[in-house]
Amino acid sequence: MRLRITTWNANSIRIREAALRRIAGEIRPDVLCLQETKVPDDRFPRSLAEELGYRHMFLHGQKAYNGVAVLSRLPLADCEGIHWCGLDQCRHIRCLLPGGIELHNLYIPAGGDIPDPEVNPKFRHKLEMLEELTGWFASRRGDGARLVLLGDLNIAPLETDVWNHRALLKVVSHTPVEVETLERLQRAYAFVDAVRRIIPPERKLFTWWSYRARDWSKSDRGRRLDHIWLSPGLAPALVDAHVRRDARGWEAPSDHVPVTVDLEL
């Protein structure tokens, strides 16, 4: 069985109908994980998702901010929205896919502009959420589960994940403390970076480009903020991965593009 999973930060799902249709029609994921839906569950475009073939869905949204969703052509089970750091924010969904695959769809806080947890509560929250996730996955390490952890993790860990490593060392999303914190999360369950398993780490690779750029493609000042990780028990099933760079140039685009993996189960 071939399983295709895509993650995409939609940045307001209600204004992305054209992009959602293209993802469904051109990428054709079996499971589509969304972040920053920015809509309460009763306002989510369910009928559009169903029209596109996603008859199974789990929504965990709130008005104007955050929000995650899983849209699936396959049945979903045991879905839950998980809260971290004692805050009622919609940033994490856990679901079971057929075959016992445990899916975690995450939207990690962006962290604001100042990379100092002592003066920037948003940055502190980002680090604290990552640390709580690390402890939770570390407590399960070795249980043999087939896990997928994906979403907008809002950190570009490698030098080749940003347009200019030296220039961004003090910019939130690529600071050493963020990279080290994300690496601890990855090690906590020995997750494999699925995209970089297929696309060599030596190659520059971005999934986000700012709206501020007059010509995003020409300046190409991007960052790889969107990730798909696989647990050791699932990593051998990986057969392909790709980043749909051209989606940044679609009509009314998100500032993020879809990231996809194919698994042979």
The percent of residues above 70 in pLDDT, for the chain, comes to 100
User: So what's the pLDDT on residue 53?
Assistant: 98
Q: CB of 220 within 8 A of CB of 163?
A: yes
Identify the CATH number of the domain defined by range 2-264: 3.60.10.10
Average pLDDT, the chain: 98
Measured CA to CA, the distance from residue 184 to residue 136 in angstroms comes to: 12
pLDDT digits (tens, 9 = 90+) for 141-180: 999 999 999 999 999 999 999 999 999 999 999 999 999 9
| Residues linked to residue 259 through DSSP beta bridges, in sequence order | 7, 243
pLDDT digits (tens, 9 = 90+) for 30-89: 999 999 999 999 999 999 999 999 999 999 999 999 999 999 999 999 999 999 999 999
User: So what's the pLDDT on residue 143?
Assistant: 95
Which residue ranges make up each domain of the chain?
A: 2-264
User: So what's the pLDDT on residue 86?
Assistant: 96
Q: pLDDT class for 11, splitting at 50, 70, 90? A: very high
What is the average pLDDT across 234-263? 98
Alpha-carbon dihedral 53, 108, 235, 103, rounded to 10 degrees = -40
Q: pLDDT class for 240, splitting at 50, 70, 90? A: very high
The first and second tokens of residue 65, run together, are 């901010």
User: So what's the pLDDT on residue 199?
Assistant: 98
